[in-house]
Amino acid sequence: MATLSWEQVKAHSTEAEAWIVLHGSVYNATPFLEDHPGGRDLILDVAGQDATEVFEEAAHSSDARDILPGLLVGRLKEYNDVVPTSHSLIGRTAEAEKSSNSSSSLTARWTAVLSLVAFAWFMGARSQNRQDGHGDGGAQSGSDNWTVQFQHLGGVGGAAAVASANPLWVLLVVVLLSSVWGFGVFISYVIYVDYGRLDKYPARTRLE
Ligand code: HEM
């Protein structure tokens, strides 16, 4: 890797050659200027300079940091790295959101809840049918055995109660729980993503 001096870095402070220093490594940001979600000007403001502080203040994600190796030019000869890598709330939250709240895992959760509802409904309906004496003997006895077995299995807990409850009550409870859950997800989204995004802006560009 090339070892560079401050003079060389300072000589690359134009739009055509915008080098920035992050933690002592020198990056050529020019190919990325147009793609920068924070805009080209924020990078150009610090071209030819040490951008570590503003870069960390903007709490860049690991996705942003993954872009850096592709822009690497070299390393400064002497560099005293005093700015810590930011581990801000928003950085960690955004990454956690990506892994835990991804649409696929949400789909999986909803599928699990809906399966449970369908199962409880089915068992409730079966048990109702049996108690009302609407079962038509031999043909149904296989399913009724399943109901009985389920109730025996769940006899120790709430499963039997769920199975024998009116399916409409089961549905109501599930809908209520889902609403509370959804509200919780919404509130945490507002707190961590919307509110947290304020921290993504460097202090000098932030509206105080
Ligand atoms: C080559 C260096 C840089 C790269 C690769 C880069 C990359 C990125 C990326 C990928 C994002 C989207 C959000 C994220 O994933 O974190 C972002 C946002 C941002 N960047 Fe940079 N960035 C660089 C330099 C800078 C510099 C020097 C500043 C100076 C202040 C800056 C300020 C910002 C701001 C304020 C945002 C937030 C934009 C928004 O959410 O609307 N970035 N950057």
Distance, CA of 25 to CA of 77 (rounded, Å): 10
Ligand 1 binding pocket includes 67 (Cβ within 6 Å): yes
Which ipTM score applies to this complex? 0.96
DSSP-assigned letters across all residues of 87-108: --HHHHHHHHHHHHS-HHHHHH
Record the tokens describing residue 136, joined without a space. Answer: 């038509």
Please report which confidence band the pLDDT of residue 120 belongs to, taking 50, 70 and 90 as the band edges: confident
- 188 has pLDDT over 70: yes
pTM over 0.90: no
Ligand 1 binding pocket includes 47 (Cβ within 6 Å): no
- 152 has pLDDT over 60: no
pLDDT number for residue 4? 96
pLDDT (average), residues 126-142:
58
* 54/130: higher pLDDT: 54
- Dihedral (CA of 138, 142, 147, 153) sign: positive
Ligand 1 binding pocket includes 23 (Cβ within 6 Å): no
Mutating to test ligand 1, I would choose from 42, 45, 60 the residue with most ligand atoms within 8 A of its C-beta, which is 60
pLDDT tens digit string along 3-20? 999 999 999 999 999 999
User: Of 69-73, 109-113, 146-150, 162-166, which has the strongest mean pLDDT?
Assistant: 69-73
